[in-house]
Amino acid sequence: MTIVFEKENRLFTLCTRNSMYQMKADDKGILLHTYYGKKTEVFDYSYLIQRRDHGFSGNPEEAGNDRTYSTDTLPQEYSSFGSGDYRESALDIRYDNGTRTLGLRYEGYEIIKGKYSIPGLPAMYADENEAETLVITLRDDVQDVRVKLYYGVIEELDIITRTVCVENHGKAQVQLERVMSLCLDQPYGDWDWMTFYGKHEMERQLSRTPIHHGVQSVGSLRGASSHQYNPFVMLADKNATETSGECYGFSLLYSGNFLAAAEKDQFDQTRLIMGIHPENFEFLLKEGETFWAPEVMMVYSADGFEKMSNCYHKAVREHVCRGRFKLERRPVLINNWEGTYFDFTGDKLLEMAKEAASCGVELFVMDDGWFGKRDDDNSGLGDWQVNEKKLGCTLSELADRIHDLGMKFGIWYEPECISEDSDLYRAHPDWAFTVPGRRPTRGRNQLVLDFSREDVRNHIFDEMTKVLDKADVDYLKWDFNRSISDIYCAALPAERQGEVPHRYVLGLYEFLDRLGKRYPDMLIEGCSGGGGRFDAGMLHYNSQIWCSDDTDAIERLKIQYGTSFAYPVSAVGSHVSACPNHQTGRIVPFESRATVAMAGTFGYELDPAKLSEEEKQQIQEQIAEFKKYYDVIHFGNYYRLTNAMEEGPYAAWEFVKEDGSEALVSVVASRVRTNDPGVRIKLRGLKENQIYLVNGEEYPGGALMHGGLLLEEAKKEYQSWNYHIVMK
């Protein structure tokens, strides 16, 4: 059994293949967290909870004269504001009389076969025989608010998920001020805080700092999960590496404002909270109403980061992503954006498609500029009518001509945004986020449509389907190119304006769900100025996301390195772009750009008509190589052989089939110096006693993993190699 309940001492133990999570409802009704770590025999770990009389740490009424019992020091499973716990709280509720004190006590539990789902929100899914769900109910007797803690246990994946449902059973309405999805108290340990920061065109850069006294946090108030911080964080033992040491991963399946915070308290205990950012968040619950928080996926590894990452990769690929393309090979594509920007005609696109088709490219994507009055980024958004004058034909005719070349056809959309210079804005200015009486803040000279409103979503959906129903479109790129500000919903009263940011995300998910159901054979790729909304929540609706608008292969080494800690290669949109690179001006060998792009969905972002015959031949070879290695790249275990954040001579990574029968090692010379010493890298994931062929040469698996592979000497800057390894 994955969930064990001991009735006598009200002890709950959740077991995966390699980890164990435990909590206990004590005799006073407080749900205490007792253990999360390596799987052991089921045992009551509450013996590790230390109780002392600490000054200025108050005692609940149930404790009587026992001053050693304090919610301010106990490891709690789900903390609440105003209860005598002065650490970061998980739940904060304001009542109609203005008070905010909440006293949650254990009421009961339920164990359900299978994995729970969340209304209107993304969540992991699993068959009934793959998962179990534990539901623990806590209750505040004074206000009759009930908090249900949901735990999903997927044993074979080493994943435990968490979410929270708040129910108002009282007569009076309550205002939710903060509802965290996760509260985890670690009474012992000296941890590092690992997060992934960045900016537009340089996302998910790994940061590792010691957890110190006080609160450390990352989050987003931009309306999207953001380029700046990713909703995935880690706690790691100070000595943890890729292959050893304890670490914990926490991935929030949410694409809006979020907060992840770690607090080291006065007694060196660490509390982690994660969920919707409480800033500019309120949600009103009337009698009988409920609120669901987003899901968090938790992974514990006793053997370093790579074990944790591979758990996430398999879980996201097979139990978060949905639809036809979650496991099906995606077509190699070419996008016209960096090849033409807004300056194109239908004939120019067809010329690019012909050249690409002759090289073996399988999908042609028409990017921004095909609709309304749209020759730059200052007008036209919201007017989703095909500009047939610019294309010189209908969209259906263009799609048919692309298909006649043996290629699939794709199209770009930015449904959430609107230009003030558009027919839609002139007809419905109240549909855009603007604060009455104030001039709006613009981003990319555009505003954001209020997707919290059903009428707005329905109009955009109808306009999109009018286009998509008439043309044979195989792929859709969904973009979102600004942060949200000036949030005000004209359809909601003043007391509900704090609900708008979350309602916006719910509206976005509802729209994407409808779109996916209407076009189940269409591949939808997410994008937000590249990686501004790269999170597990979006991957529930888009099986791949454009990783970054930075297409420089050398910059991508760091971006894709950070991304790999929580997200599988199959989710990473990555393309070969033109040189000099449009973002950095850097010149990188054509073959090295392909080596880096193959650690993703793979495609091209250039004008093939401008390439030499030699480069066109290289494209054919690159596509053939990618298809040859597709299964090991997209479904194999992933290993970070070097740290891309360190300035070393090489960047290297490895893909290995789960049975160890095949591997691919990719290497890029990130720094070339004269007369450098030799470099060897130790491979991982192979079978110790098996013989492997490495580009035709025989080596024992143990030798490759413990002795290593001696790399070739780089003869030019940014040279790259792929070492194909197969079991003999």
CA separation for the pair 479, 456 (Å, rounded): 17
Which among 385, 372, 587, 545 has a CA at the least distance from the CA of 466? Answer: 385
Reduce the DSSP state of residue 135 to 3 states and report it.
strand
Chain CA centroid to CA 345, Å: 36
Return the DSSP state at 531.
B
Reduce the DSSP state of residue 430 to 3 states and report it.
helix
CA separation for the pair 143, 139 (Å, rounded): 9
Expressed in angstroms, the distance from the first to the final Cα of the chain is: 39
CA separation for the pair 480, 464 (Å, rounded): 16
Write the CA distances from 71 to 21, 36, 440, 520, integer angstroms: 21, 20, 45, 50
Whether the link from the prior residue into 580 is cis, omega within 30° of 0, is yes
Q: SS3 string of 340-369? A: HCCCCCHHHHHHHHHHHHHCCCCEEEECCC
Confirm if 532 and 480 have CB atoms less than 8 A apart.
yes
> To which H or E segment does residue 258 belong?
strand 258-264
Write the CA distances from 330 to 325, 360, 634, integer angstroms: 7, 14, 10
CA separation for the pair 178, 181 (Å, rounded): 10
Which among 710, 654, 706, 649 has a CA at the least distance from the CA of 680? Answer: 710
Find the radius of gyration of the CA atoms of the chain.
27
Reduce the DSSP state of residue 44 to 3 states and report it.
coil
Which among 163, 385, 146 has a CA at the least distance from the CA of 289? Answer: 146
CA separation for the pair 383, 425 (Å, rounded): 9
The first and second tokens of residue 179, run together, are 């509802």
CA separation for the pair 418, 627 (Å, rounded): 39
Write the CA distances from 325 to 77, 223, 318, 330, 543, integer angstroms: 38, 28, 11, 7, 7
- Residue 511: which residues within 8 A CB-CB, separation 6 or more? 415, 451, 457, 460, 461
Confirm if 598 and 670 have CB atoms less than 8 A apart.
no
The first and second tokens of residue 456, run together, are 């707005």
Burial of residue 137, with CB atoms counted within 10 A of its CB: 0-12 exposed, 13-18 middle, 19 or more buried: middle
CA separation for the pair 388, 398 (Å, rounded): 10
Query: CA dihedral defined by 464, 469, 474, 480, rounded to 10 degrees?
Result: 0
Confirm if 161 and 151 have CB atoms less than 8 A apart.
yes
Reduce the DSSP state of residue 660 to 3 states and report it.
coil
- Residue 18: which residues within 8 A CB-CB, separation 6 or more? 38, 39, 158, 300, 301, 302
CA separation for the pair 69, 27 (Å, rounded): 12
CA angle 257, 480, 603 (to 5 degrees): 120
Tell me which residues are annotated as active site.
Answer: 535, 615
The first and second tokens of residue 717, run together, are 């800057």
